[in-house]
Each structure stands twice: as structure tokens, then as C-alpha cells.
Chains A and B, each alone.
Chain A
Amino acid sequence: MNPLVFSRRAFLGKAANGLGHVALSSMLLPALARAASGTQPDAADMAAFRSIAPKAKRVIYLFQSGGPSHVDLFDGKDALEKLHGSNLPDSVRGGQRVTGMTSGQSSFPVVRPIAPGKRCGPAGVWISDLLPYTQKIAGEICVIRSMHTEAINHDPAITLINTGSMQLGNASAGAWVSYGLGTENANLPAYMVLISQGTGKNPDQPIFSRLWGSGFLPSQHQGVILRAGADPVLYLDNPPGVSREQRRAQLDDLEKLNQRFADEVGDPETLARIHGYEMAFRMQASVPELTDLSGESQETFELYGPESRKPGTYASNCLLARRLAERGVRFIQLFHRGWDQHIAITRQLPNQCRDTDQPSAALITDLKRRGLLEDTLVLWGGEFGRTVYSQGALGSAVAGRDHHGRCFSIWMAGAGIKGGSAVGETDDFCWNITKDPFHIRDLNATMLNQLGIDHHRLTYPYRGLDQKLTGVEPAKLIAPALA
């Protein structure tokens, strides 16, 4: 028998009967075509890097774009009350380079957190009163106050945290995970991206497809944007005047014609294409089902807050993130803009917090009660922190904080993460790390580790190097955060 001849029905029958982790690829199936084009690791490579018992099946990354202020949100301390208004000592500043926006300032007055906070959860982690809902889930999350990055401006910093390098051209974390693990749901892309704009600052720093791009990895691993409104995935909808039944008949025709062609010339790529068209057809049903929130209860909407009913908001995207997780999407990334509080931080930051606090906490609560939190890794954080000193005159309504890379705070929750804990400490000025520093590559190593991937071994050959998400510098796990 010609091994190339297998019918679509047989093919789909198999696909429908649980792809599990054997489904090597999210986007195409025939092994032949895949091996020939190298778009997914082969079984031996996969065995090598999937050498760790996985805690997480998927990741939800709540990315807060712009640089949330760690000083105000998670790293407030009593000492700042006394230091408020004093000049940041040179000994602390340690010659750190400062962005062009405040390098000309004559003084660097320390500013205490703009709102009080509380010690929360079993570890007594300080969390701002601007985040009352997050305070309530303190028992579920691990706050890491000792993240650091070399980058001090948005483009390099956001590129570094999303792709593991400040240089252009690298693959995003989500693309790596798609490459390494594929999908659990063949009817949806393995990596989906949702974008929202905060009310703190509009428009804030741009974001761009590089952040969810595939870089040097095959393009099928790039994040697919799930948009609000009609056509949530670009080109998803049939043209007006073409019904789903019509499309079905058309695809049946295409299958017959393509199958004949594949048989005649021996083309595995065409078999893969037949499958791709079928997946496209199923996506046309699975995406609207995914984005249709009409079956969500009133109580659920209340949990996520009033904005969750409004497509395109952070709250709505958090609710969608849970639905994506339920449907086995491997890497779900929200990008929420608006955290770049150079000016008017006292006006802007509370707005940003109001956008994000309740929905973020609701997502944790919702995942937990549905039994999803135990195998979902949730991350909350941005590309860097903000300076303890005032950008602009102390106390002015227009004052803000500049970028700060020497330390910043993020939180993680879920799969194998020690809830109710905190990792790392900074000095009295929230300026330098005094305990347990962790770099972005450590964060990436940890994320991969929770997914059961040895970050040393998930590699892709490109330009003479076995490229890795964690790069060439040694990376370590954020061990204190792991249960």
C-alpha cells in the first residue's frame, strides 16, 4: 500500500481521539512533512528536553507592559516613610545608568509609595492598597521582589523579557513553548495573544509582533492574536455570502482534488495542507465558541468585575484566558499596556490598578475552583520596575517615576509554585537587591522547568548556535518559589 494514501476521515478520526502529547505539532500532522521541513522537534530531541516531570500543562502570562512600579505595588517598606523627600544617596545609586529622561535631574528625591499597603498572606508580603483583590489572593501567589534586568528602556527591556534577548530576531517564550510542546487542542493555535489598553495612560508604549513572534523558529509558532469583536482571529470568517455548509462542500471538493494530486505526485506537503484546511474549518467553529461568553454566569462576570462584559478589556481577556486554558491552549499571553508612569503617577497608577487588580485575582480564584490552577502556571509582571526617586519635582501632581532595572517585582501562581510566599529582598530604597537576585533568564528557565522542559536542552540550531530561550549565560531556577 502506498503509505501516502490515507483518507481524511481516518486522519481526522485519529486527530479527534485525543492527540495528547503525541500530537507533535499544533498546526500540521503528517510526520513525513514535518520531518522533511523541520518545523517541530523530532521524537528523540523531544525526549531529551522533556526530561523533567511537568507540573504545568500550560502558561497564562499576564504581561503588564510599561514597567509597573514595584515601589508602589509590592515592595513598599516602612523605611521609605522616613526617607521620603531625602535625596537618593550616591552610594545607593551606585553609578547606575539612568535613562535620558531623568539623567539631567539635579536631585533625586525619594518618594514613598503613593498609597499605603498591608502585610498579606502567610508570609506577610507587602501589597499595596491599590490592589485590594490581589491582597486577598496573597495566599495563592508567590511575589518575587528580586527580579532584575540590564535593560532600562522599553524596547530592549520588553524584547528581553519576552524573547530572552535584547537583540532583535529571537523567538518569544510562547513560540518556544509551542515549538517544544505543541498543542493540546488541534482546533486552536498553541500560542494565543490578547491585547488590552490600560486606562492609566493612553496610548502607552507601543507593543509589537516581535514580542510574540517566532524569531528564528518556524513561523507557525508565532502567537496568534485573539481580537475583540468580529473576526477574532484574522481572516477567520467566511466572506459574506458564503455559508458554513457551502464552505464544507468546498473543502470536500478541495480534499478530493488535493488527495488526487498528492497521490499522483507523491507530495506529503499536500497531505499536510488537506489537514490544515480541515483545522481551519474547525477553528471557524471553535473560536466563536471560545469567545462566546453568553454561557458565563452572572456570578462569574461579577467575579471578574464589570469590565469583563466588554470585549477587548483586560478583564474580558482574563476571562477569555481561563476559557483558553480550559480548551488546552498551551501558552496564553495577555499584553496590557499603560504602566509607564513617568508623569502623574498619582492619577495614572490607581487607574492601571483598577483595570487589572480584580480581573487578575479573579482569574486565580476561578482557575482554582475549577481545578485548573494546579496545572496552569500564571505569571504577572512587566519589563522592569520604577525608580524610588521622583521624576519631576517632589510632590508635584505631574511627578512620576523613571525606569528601574536593578530590581522589580513580579508574581507567579499555580503549577508547583509556593503560594503565599515571597522571594528576594531589596534595600531600603527598593533600589538594589539584597537577597536572592533572579534574572529574566532564571524566570524563563523556571517557566520551562514547570512545563517539564530542561531549558538547557530545548534548543534550535540557527546561525551556528544551538539557540536557547535562556541564552548563553548560565540560568538557574527560582528555587525558593517552587513548592
Chain B
Amino acid sequence: MVGLKQPMIRSLRILPILLALPAAGAGELAFNKDVRPVLSKTCFTCHGPDAAAVKGKLRLDLRDLALKGGESGKPAIVPGKPEESEIIRRIRSTDPDDVMPPPEAHMTFTSRDVEVLTQWIREGAVYEGHWAFQTPAKAPVPDIPSAGEHPVDRFVAARLAAEKLGFSPEADRRTLIRRVFHDLTGLPPSPAEVRAFLEDTSPNAYESMVERLISSPRFGENFAVAWLDASRYADTNGYSIDGGRHQWLWRDWVIKSFNDNQPYDRFLIDQLAGDLLPGATEQQIVATGFNRNHAITHEGGTIPEENLVNYAADRVKTASEAFLGLTMACAQCHDHKYDPISQRDYYRFFAFFNTLDDAGLDGNAGQNARPSIKASSCLATATEAETVRRELEAARTALAAPLPEAQQRWDADRRADLANRGRGFSLVPLEVLSATAPNGSPDRIRIGEDHTVSIAGGDFSAYNVLMRLPAAGPPLRGIRVVFSATPASKGKLGFGSAKGLEGNFHLGTITSSVSTFAAGNVDLNAILPITRLSASSVQPGHDVWNVLNSDPLVGWAPRTGAAGPEHLTLTFEAPLQSSATPYLTTELLFNFGANTSPASFRIFGFVGEDDGARDPEDITAILLTEAATRTPEQAAALQAYFQRIAPEKAADRSRVDNLQERLSMLTAKHPVLVMNTSAKPRKTHILDRGVYSSPKEEVSPGSPEALPPLSLDPSFDKASGSFKDRPANRLDLALWMVRPDHPLTSRVAINRIWEHFFGRGLSASSADFGSQGQWPSHPELLDWLATDFREKGWDRKHLIRMILTSRTYRQSSDASPELLKRDPRNELLARGPRFRLSAEQVRDQALFVAGLLAERLGGPSVKPYQPGDLWRQVSHYGSSPATSQTFVQDHGEKLHRRSLYTYWKRTLPPVNLSVFDAPNREICSIGRTSTNTPLQALVTLNDTQFVEAARSLAATVLLASHPSDAERLRAAFEAVTSRLPVPDEAAILDAALKRERNRYQADPAAAGELLSIGETPRPPSIPAVEHAAWTQVAATLLNLSETITRR
């Protein structure tokens, strides 16, 4: 066993090289394929396009200059004569002072590199322009009739023939339909769809399936994801504070563009320059959000001018990588080391993206950074709005439906609680040791002699109060915070100025922890649970229980206008033992930025039972009235109140909330960051070393010199690269990118589409088509497709149909050990593509097969399950008015939307997605790596989202009318894998089912625990033991490697 490993590693290291390069000496070398990579990697750093970095006055990227030689005066290259070429002498030299590259460069030539250069010079040292900078053309389709008519297959077959390989057989139909479903919609087929496909014997069964899926709205959702990565879409501003923004309208636009099969050239133009189009539509302006998806900061102290440079630089980086496959960012500080892009080219490109009305510090308090507009979602339809209105109506009716039994129980509980309140109650003074606010001046927060904390006005947010618990006496049951007016607040309780809260305060959150030492801050790892809350009064809309929600914008306020002291009382789950933990720290968070601090407060401990009522005064009064003697109005008020707070109504309440939000998405306008052009645009200068404060020469917008000129218009001056009568703008740039002779745009576009289906592009470096990029595996095919794509009107769905109908795509992905060894990365395409599902697909598939997926197209982002409040532990919570500093989970259908709608916080992206290689979206990211780690196993085994999915899948199977366990197992297996189990598999699962059944029969409580995971209600008709056992089997199925592999 062990002995086998080493040779395998060795052969794998060498094989890809053998594949890529014919042995030197065998056949003529091609410059771009064989020679340029060697020169680029090893020589161009000092002898390439970066004029400032050229050493010894020698350049090797241009033939004339290489033949002329550098300051030594000797020709570096003598065509046909390697032995007279200085370059060969120097790289073969063993003298450390003479050898190239020099030792301090920490680069080496392999012996193969030397052979390649020698042979190339012997063959005449022919240079070619970099392949990707030449306009692509259609080479003749290879004449291999056995490969069929399909051009893709002909090109692939030609390469296979050269390698003495052939196509693999077509994948079986179950595998094929699953592959196409995953590739086009991101979801697996249902068993019914599988069966329909198996039974469809028509000759175009496959083609019609493709057609159906390509027209599905799920298509756009699936394809949008890679573009969201490339465009660094996120729901927060990034950098350090990472507050929230509103940008989902732009994501809606992307989904629709894919679904409508918007031609790629229009897709590009709208995003780069939609605002500059004559008669631009609202949606064309929304599309320009592409250039505003970058991170934005409002960190105090950062320098606005520097931030603005960073933002524009990010637009350059993203536009050049995403549309052109060019790493222009390399030229921000100096000429590009490998590609013919000068620093001047860079800043001329930069100038296109530097003319908007944006601010260097912006985006605080959940407000979009300027420029931002309000617009409608392009996915909103009147039909859905009508449906949602009806659903909302029904949901409100359901919410209003009385729950007499539950209410009676509640009524009795509350009455008992009221009867018990105040029993043995007495307040215990606490000694305040410190009271601080993170950005608050200590001289504005005073601790009085009676341990009252008073605030001299101002607008701080979180107050941490450290107290010493009394050493003697009974354990404290909880604390009471008493708020009072002071002279500083002119006799009011607080400094509030917001409507309805004038002269009041607003307590967003209160958290406490105890400690063995004097901790000035609440320990977020050990927040004391609270079991009972009461307030002396409540301002309508600011209910007392809001203080338990970490969202600082939702909180409690006493009745506005109350002059006397008001108080809030918290009962802890466990009494405080001062002998073990003598210190108590309480954090009170008031709504920052809205002047809602109180004038003063004093914290007491208490023993006995809280003497306050849990509900507002009017409700308490009703509760204290015997049920029989309540008036109809009282009964109605009580019922309405109960509906509003009853745990039994939680699902109905979230349904109403979610539908209301959806209706707003469908009918109202919402903010989105966009591009515009300032009346006084900033000037762009070349920045020395890329530093914002070192401007050099001013430049005008223009395209890189090595690429075609920006315009063919007579008013365009080729020499200066500018129009004679006006500065070039983003629209000129966009039109330039899609001109027919542009060498990069169509290649880059089709390469990424190819990558979607094959796991790697025809050029594997899909974000870098420069000289450091990878030589394509099938260059003629790449160019043929790029040309055809443009000729067919940049039709993305046409290209996708072409790929999917090829024999190349339809091959089985099964690989013999020999083939795997020969071509581990499947560059030759002698088999079908196989790779792990993406992060989003892994989660979406689980929701789908469980019947949980809430399919709604577009809309605001959602916050499904996430363990703990990870955000609060690392964020600026309590220190600034930025939003999204604390995680508040959604409920109802928002737990089960497709993953592309999951709220994307850049500094802490959704963990169950990032574990599966989703990028953090801080910068443009093209092509995800696919890793395979234990953390992934922990997610699919233990994440609430997946446990709940297993439980729901089990319920689906158990509720269907299958006659036997065997049938049920087959159904579950097919739902998850799209195939039927073989007898071995069925036997393993059957044994597992029996084992799990025994386990839960022996411990029914454990079954109950497992079934309580996740908020989706469980059908009560299923016996718990049976349901739990099947949940375990379903979890096994969801964790099969096959399940998360697209093959």
C-alpha cells in the first residue's frame, strides 16, 4: 500500500508537463505555447515590459531588442545559433556572477526550459504576438467524421487522436439528467422528472430537456452566482466596520439578465455604462451597480482621497479581470511585469472610473454610499403581487384565528404569575465600580454617591456598568434598572428627539454577565439568560421583550412624557451566587446616532419575585379581571395581544412579516448603489508607486495601447488615444470591449461559460489571459467558440445549448485508473467532467430534496440559521450606528431560500458556504477552488440547516404511500441521488434503519431531541421514533459523496 504512493505522486507531477509540452527536439516549438511561458515566468521581470525595471538595458519581450542585445553589446539571441546567443551562454553559466537568472532572483530554469529556449533559437527564434491579444478567428473544423458533426466534438477529437485517446461512452441517462439539472438549474431532478426522461424515447428527448431547463427561472439563479463572485457582490460595505448596504436590486438585475438571455454585449454595456446610454432606463442605471459593489469604508481617521483611489482601483481590477481577463491591477504601481500594460495605460483606464459623485467616507448607519437611487426590482411582476396580496390576506386571517386552548393556558399562567409577583420582593443596592462607554468621555459619565450613573447629554451607545455584588445575603434573583430625570435633561427621562420619543430614551439591548474578577465588559461567551421581564410602562411600539433581541434599533422605551422614575426588571434564569462570582457587569445599549441616551439610571439587585407585571398595564388590568366579568372589548383586546406574543403564533407572524416584505419588494422602490457622472469630475493623475498623495502627470481616459484603439470614429485621434472634442467615457470603453475585433472579451466570456460546465476553462486561468496565463488546452476550439459567440449575437444560451448537445459534454465521467493517471485534471476531455457541487448547490439541493426550498425569485437577502452571534463577537457593535454588527436570524420561508439570497457579510461570510469554498466577496473572484475538508463533513452532518433537511426528507418519505421500508428506502435514495440503490446499498441502509429504530426505541427522548432541530414544524402524525430513525437514514443519504458530486 504505502509503496504505491510515492510513484504515483511522481508520475502525477510529470505527466501534466508531458501533456502540455512535446519533448524538446520532437517537432517544432510554437512560441506562444512553448516559449513565452518560459520567458515570461523567468525573464520578463527584469527584461520585459516594465520599462522602469529593465536591467542591463535588455528586453526579451520584443524580438528586435532581443536580437540587438543589452548594454553588454552582445546579441542576446542569434536566430539559428544558440551557441552564439548570449542568453543561452548566460543561463548555462555556472559562475554565480554571470549566470541568469542571478541567484538573488530566487528563480531557476529547469533543464527542460533550457532545452526549449535552445531549440527555439535553433529553429530561428520566431516571435508571435501574445495569443490572447490577437483577434480570434475560426480555424477550419477538423475533418474527423467519426467524431460526428458537432464542431466542439471535432476539435476535441482532434486533440484526443493526437494523444491516441478516444471519447468515453455517453453517461447513462440518470447520470445525464442529473448532470444537466445541476449545471443549468443548480438543483437535482425530482424522481418524477427522472422517470419522465427515462421514459421519453423520442429522439430529441435530451434536447427538449435542455430547452426546458434553460428556460427555467432557476437558470438565472444558478448562473448568477459566479457573476456575483466576479462582481464582488455583498450586502455589507466591507473593510473593518462592514455595515449594511442595500444592493439586492442589482442582484435581481443579474438574475433577469441571465433568464432573459440578454446578449452578452448588452450585459456588459449596461453594467459598465447603462447610465450613459441615451434614454437610459431605470434598470440600465441599476445595472451600473456593478461598479459600486466594491468595499466602501467610513472608518474614522481614514483619508477620503486615499479611499477614493482604492475604490476606483477596485473598479479597474474588477472590470479588467471580469470582462477582459487582464490583471491590470499589476500596473497600479509600475508598468506590468509581464503584459504590455504601462502604468500610463493603467491610469488612463482608471480615469474612466474616476468621474462619479462618490464620497471618500460614506455608507454609515445602513444608508447606501452615494450615488444611490431608488428603483423597482426588475423581477417584480403584477401577477406575483396579486398572489402575494392574497397570501397575505390568508396569512393575516390565520394569524387572527383564535387559539382558545393555548390562550386559556396562557391566561391561567399569567394570572398565577401575577398572583405570585412581588412575593418576598426587596431591592438590594449594588456598588458601581465603573461605568464606561467605548467612545464616551469619562467626564461625561458620572457615578453618584448613591451609585446612580448619570449622563451629561451626548450620544454614546453602549454603557458597561461594573458592579460588586453584596457579599452577604440571599442570592439575587435579578436586577432592576431605575431611570430618572436630571437637571442636565431638563427634567426629562432622556435626551430623545425622535418622533414619539421626545425627552425619552430607547434601550435597544441589555446584557449581563458575572465574573470572578472586576471585568469592565460583558462576557459575550457567558451572557446570563433571562426568564422574566417587566417594565413600569411601555411606549406603544417599543415592547419590553425587544431588549432581548440584539438588534440595537429595536428596543424598549417607557411611556413618553413620563416624568417620574421608570424601571425595567430582569429575572435571571439562575440566582447570582456572589461567593462564586462577586462581580456583575451589565451592558445597556442605547440607539446610537439618535440621541436616545437616558439622563440617569441606577441598577439594583433584588431578592424574591419581581413585583412588576410582564405585560403592559392595560393588559395586566384585563388579566386581573375574572374572565367571566371581562367586557367584549376587553376580551378582544386580550385576544389581539395574545396573538401578537403567543409562541404558538410565531410561524403565522413571520409569515405575515415575510409576505409584507415580499409585497414591498414587488411594489415599492428600494435603494441601490449606482454610477453617475459628476458635474465636476475628479482629474486623474498617474500616481507614483500607486500612492494617492503622489500625483504625477494628468491623464485622460483611454484604452491600453497594446490593444485595438478605443474608437474608429473620425473624431478619435489615434495618436493621443482621445477624442478631439470630448473626453472618452465608460460608454466608449464598453463599446470598445464589444467591438468585433477585440481579442479578449469574447474569449474571456466563453471560457467562463465553458468552465461552468467542465470545472475548468479551455484556458485554465480564466481571470488571466495575459502572458502568465495558461496556454489553452484547445486553443482552436476556444477561438472558434469565441468567434461563433460574437457572430451569433453574443447569445449565451445558444452557446450553452451547443456545449450541452456535444458528445464531449455527454460523456461518462467514470475514469479508469489509467486515464486518471494520464490526465488527472481532465484537460484532454477523454471523459466527462466531474466535480463537487458548489457551496450554494450543496445547501440548495438539501433543501430541495427535503421539500423545504422556498422558491421565490429575487428580493432582499435573508439570514438563515447560523450558530451563535458570530458577528457581534468581532464587530463594532455598540460603537457606531453601522448596521449588520449583530446577527439576527430570520424565520419562516426566509430560512429556506436559495443560497444566493443569503445575506453576505464580507468580513464574516456565511460559514456553511465559506467552508465549501465560497469566497468572501471582498474583491473580484473568478473560479472557485474546490477543497475537501473535515469541516465540510461537520456542516452537512451537524448544521441545523442540514439536520432539518434530513428530518423533512424523512417526513416526506414517511408521509408518501410507499408499501414497505424497502420502497421507502428506494424513494429516499432516488430523491437524493437520482438513481436507485443496488442491493448492497439497499442492504446497508436497511440495516442502518433497523439499528436507528432500535436506538430510538430504547431512548425515545433522544428521538424528541433530534426532531426538535430546526423551526419547521414536524407532522405530528409520524411517530417520533420512526421519524428520528428515518432522519438518520436521510442524513446518511445527504452525506454521500455521490450526493454532493456532480458527475
- Bound Cα distance from A42 to B923, whole angstroms: 28
Q: Mark B1010-1037, 1 if CB is under 8 A from A, else 0.
A: 1111000000000000001000100110
Given the interface pairs A234-B938, A250-B992, the reply to whether A272 lies near B932 with Cβ below 8 Å is yes
**Residues of B1-32 contacting chain A, CB below 8 A:** 1-2, 4-5, 8-9, 12-13
B816 within 8 Å of A by Cβ? yes
Residue among B41, B906, B938, B1035 having the largest count of chain A Cβ atoms under 10 Å: B938
- Bound Cα distance from A276 to B462, whole angstroms: 43
Question: Does the CB pair A42–B301 fall under 8 Å?
Answer: no
Question: Does the CB pair B299–A209 fall under 8 Å?
Answer: no
* Closest A residue to B816 using CB positions: A266
A434 within 8 Å of B by Cβ? no
Question: Does the CB pair B989–A309 fall under 8 Å?
Answer: no
- Bound Cα distance from A227 to B870, whole angstroms: 10
B359 within 8 Å of A by Cβ? no
A37 within 8 Å of B by Cβ? yes
Give the contacting residue for B824; candidates A35, A154, A272; CB below 8 A: A35
**Residues of A192-251 contacting chain B, CB below 8 A:** 195, 197, 199, 201-210, 213, 218-220, 222, 224, 227-229, 231, 233-243, 246-247, 249-250
**B935 CB contacts on chain A under 8 angstroms:** 27, 189, 224, 233-235, 280
Instruction: Give, as a whole number of angstroms, the nearest-CB distance from B661 to chain A.
Output: 28
- Bound Cα distance from A274 to B867, whole angstroms: 25
Given the interface pairs A100-B301, A219-B929, A269-B836, the reply to whether A233 lies near B9 with Cβ below 8 Å is no
Q: Mark B133-171, 1 if CB is under 8 A from A, else 0.
A: 000000000000000000000000000000000000000
3 tightest CB-CB pairs across the interface, nearest first?
A241-B1010, A208-B907, A241-B1009
Question: Does the CB pair B873–A195 fall under 8 Å?
Answer: yes
* Closest A residue to B333 using CB positions: A472
**B915 CB contacts on chain A under 8 angstroms:** 219
* Chain B residues packing against A (C-beta within 8 Å): 1-2, 4-5, 8-9, 12-13, 41, 106, 238-242, 295, 297, 299-304, 321, 327, 329-330, 337-339, 436, 438-439, 441-443, 462, 464, 515-517, 519-526, 693, 765, 767-768, 770-773, 813-817, 819-820, 824-825, 834, 836, 867-868, 873-879, 885, 906-909, 911-912, 914-915, 917, 920, 922-923, 925, 929-939, 941-944, 947, 984-985, 988-989, 991-992, 995-996, 999, 1005-1013, 1028, 1032, 1035-1036, 1039-1042, 1045, 1047
**Residues of A245-275 contacting chain B, CB below 8 A:** 246-247, 249-250, 253-254, 256-258, 260-262, 264-270, 272-274
Given the interface pairs A32-B8, A234-B938, A397-B443, the reply to whether A270 lies near B879 with Cβ below 8 Å is no
**B interface SS class:** loop
Question: Does the CB pair B301–A209 fall under 8 Å?
Answer: no
Question: Does the CB pair A220–B933 fall under 8 Å?
Answer: yes
Given the interface pairs A168-B923, A208-B908, A465-B330, the reply to whether A155 lies near B12 with Cβ below 8 Å is no
- Bound Cα distance from A99 to B299, whole angstroms: 11
Given the interface pairs A218-B929, A277-B937, the reply to whether A101 lies near B300 with Cβ below 8 Å is yes
* Closest B residue to A265 using CB positions: B814
A169 within 8 Å of B by Cβ? yes
A106 within 8 Å of B by Cβ? no
- Bound Cα distance from A415 to B985, whole angstroms: 53
Given the interface pairs A42-B9, A210-B907, A233-B938, the reply to whether A249 lies near B992 with Cβ below 8 Å is yes
Question: Does the CB pair B516–A306 fall under 8 Å?
Answer: yes
Instruction: Give, as a whole number of angstroms, the nearest-CB distance from A463 to chain B.
Output: 5
Between-chain CB contacts (< 8 Å), 9 pairs? A202-B522, A206-B885, A209-B914, A236-B942, A249-B995, A266-B815, A269-B834, A280-B937, A464-B770
* Closest A residue to B444 using CB positions: A398
Question: Does the CB pair B8–A31 fall under 8 Å?
Answer: yes
Question: Does the CB pair A203–B875 fall under 8 Å?
Answer: yes
Given the interface pairs A169-B922, A208-B242, A258-B1041, the reply to whether A464 lies near B330 with Cβ below 8 Å is yes
**B436 CB contacts on chain A under 8 angstroms:** 202, 347
- Bound Cα distance from A158 to B464, whole angstroms: 26
Instruction: List 7 additional contacts besides A265-B813, A280-B941, A309-B516; criterion CB under 8 Å.
Output: A28-B931, A37-B932, A202-B438, A239-B1010, A258-B1042, A273-B932, A465-B327
Q: Mark A426-466, 1 if CB is under 8 A from B, else 0.
A: 00000000000000000000000000001011000101111
Given the interface pairs A266-B815, A274-B1041, A398-B441, the reply to whether A207 lies near B525 with Cβ below 8 Å is no
Given the interface pairs A168-B238, A242-B1010, A265-B813, the reply to whether A43 lies near B988 with Cβ below 8 Å is no
**B522 CB contacts on chain A under 8 angstroms:** 202
**A249 CB contacts on chain B under 8 angstroms:** 992, 995
A279 within 8 Å of B by Cβ? yes
- Bound Cα distance from A268 to B820, whole angstroms: 9
Residue among B241, B520, B1009 having the largest count of chain A Cβ atoms under 10 Å: B520
- Bound Cα distance from A82 to B679, whole angstroms: 54
Question: Does the CB pair B1032–A347 fall under 8 Å?
Answer: no
Question: Does the CB pair A267–B931 fall under 8 Å?
Answer: no
Residue among A169, A247, A397, A461 having the largest count of chain B Cβ atoms under 10 Å: A169
Question: Does the CB pair B874–A202 fall under 8 Å?
Answer: no
A14 within 8 Å of B by Cβ? yes
**B1009 CB contacts on chain A under 8 angstroms:** 239-241
A85 within 8 Å of B by Cβ? no
**B878 CB contacts on chain A under 8 angstroms:** 202-203
Question: Does the CB pair A260–B438 fall under 8 Å?
Answer: no
Instruction: Give, as a whole number of angstroms, the nearest-CB distance from A174 to chain B.
Output: 15
Question: Does the CB pair A229–B824 fall under 8 Å?
Answer: no
**A365 CB contacts on chain B under 8 angstroms:** none
Instruction: Give, as a whole number of angstroms, the nearest-CB distance from A471 to chain B.
Output: 11
- Bound Cα distance from A303 to B321, whole angstroms: 53
- Bound Cα distance from A6 to B5, whole angstroms: 11
Question: Does the CB pair A31–B9 fall under 8 Å?
Answer: yes
Given the interface pairs A100-B303, A154-B240, A268-B820, the reply to whether A203 lies near B999 with Cβ below 8 Å is no
- Bound Cα distance from A266 to B815, whole angstroms: 5
Question: Does the CB pair B1035–A250 fall under 8 Å?
Answer: yes
Given the interface pairs A258-B1040, A260-B985, A398-B442, the reply to whether A234 lies near B330 with Cβ below 8 Å is no
A3 within 8 Å of B by Cβ? yes
Given the interface pairs A3-B4, A27-B931, A169-B922, the reply to whether A310 lies near B523 with Cβ below 8 Å is yes
- Bound Cα distance from A99 to B867, whole angstroms: 37
Question: Does the CB pair A269–B1045 fall under 8 Å?
Answer: yes
**A483 CB contacts on chain B under 8 angstroms:** none
Residue among B464, B813, B1041 having the largest count of chain A Cβ atoms under 10 Å: B1041
**B925 CB contacts on chain A under 8 angstroms:** 169
Give the contacting residue for B1041; candidates A208, A233, A270; CB below 8 A: A270
- Bound Cα distance from A261 to B991, whole angstroms: 19
**A28 CB contacts on chain B under 8 angstroms:** 931-933
**B693 CB contacts on chain A under 8 angstroms:** 97
Instruction: Give, as a whole number of angstroms, the nearest-CB distance from B220 to chain A.
Output: 26
Instruction: Give, as a whole number of angstroms, the nearest-CB distance from A260 to chain B.
Output: 6
Give the contacting residue for B519; candidates A199, A222, A237; CB below 8 A: A199
- Bound Cα distance from A264 to B981, whole angstroms: 13
**A397 CB contacts on chain B under 8 angstroms:** 441-443
Question: Does the CB pair A270–B936 fall under 8 Å?
Answer: no
**B517 CB contacts on chain A under 8 angstroms:** 306-307
A2 within 8 Å of B by Cβ? yes
**B526 CB contacts on chain A under 8 angstroms:** 228-229, 310-312
Question: Does the CB pair B516–A235 fall under 8 Å?
Answer: no
- Bound Cα distance from A233 to B937, whole angstroms: 13
- Bound Cα distance from A256 to B985, whole angstroms: 9
**A229 CB contacts on chain B under 8 angstroms:** 525-526
A36 within 8 Å of B by Cβ? yes
Instruction: Give, as a whole number of angstroms, the nearest-CB distance from A350 to chain B.
Output: 11
* Closest B residue to A5 using CB positions: B817
**B885 CB contacts on chain A under 8 angstroms:** 206
**A210 CB contacts on chain B under 8 angstroms:** 907, 920, 922
Question: Does the CB pair B929–A39 fall under 8 Å?
Answer: yes
Question: Does the CB pair A267–B1045 fall under 8 Å?
Answer: yes
A44 within 8 Å of B by Cβ? yes
A142 within 8 Å of B by Cβ? no
Give the contacting residue for B242; candidates A39, A206, A240; CB below 8 A: A206
